[in-house]
Amino acid sequence: MYTIPLTSDPNQTFRCTIPIEGNNLTLLFKLRYNSESEYWAMTLTDGQTNEMLVDSVPLLAGEYPAANLLEQYAYLNIGSAVIVKMNPDAEGANPGPDNLGTDFKLIWSDTL
């Protein structure tokens, strides 16, 4: 498992190399907070080809088996990702505009 280094900075873009299935996968992350709907959305682009892989995935916490944000994209072999609430005292069930990366973490692992 790998923790993606997130902050609650609005409209953040960063590159991250993640160990998936024994290989290193470089992805370009674009995260933005939708203040109207009150959730974070994530776009992933292949770090080598610049091909967009997934767009506007809501970063919402869930319970097994629905917790895997990337389950419907398993054919891409980009792993699995879940939002985990790290602070039980944090407000809300999902990350808000100020607590992504602190009270809520994005955890990445091999494709399930």
* CA proximity to 85, closest of 107, 68, 66: 107
Asked whether the whole model's pTM tops 0.85, one would answer: yes
Measured torsion, CA atoms of residues 83, 41, 80, 108, in degrees rounded to the nearest 10: -60
Q: For residue range 37-66, what is the model confidence (pLDDT) as tens digits?
A: 999 999 999 999 999 999 999 999 988 777
| Angle in degrees, CA 108, 80, 26, rounded to 5 | 60
Question: CA torsion sign, 10 to 16 to 19 to 20?
Answer: positive
Helix or strand run (H / E) with residue 3: strand 2-4
Query: Given pLDDT bands bounded at 50, 70 and 90, which one contains residue 24?
Result: very high
* CA proximity to 42, closest of 1, 75, 73, 21: 73
Other Cβ atoms closer than 10 A to 51: 9
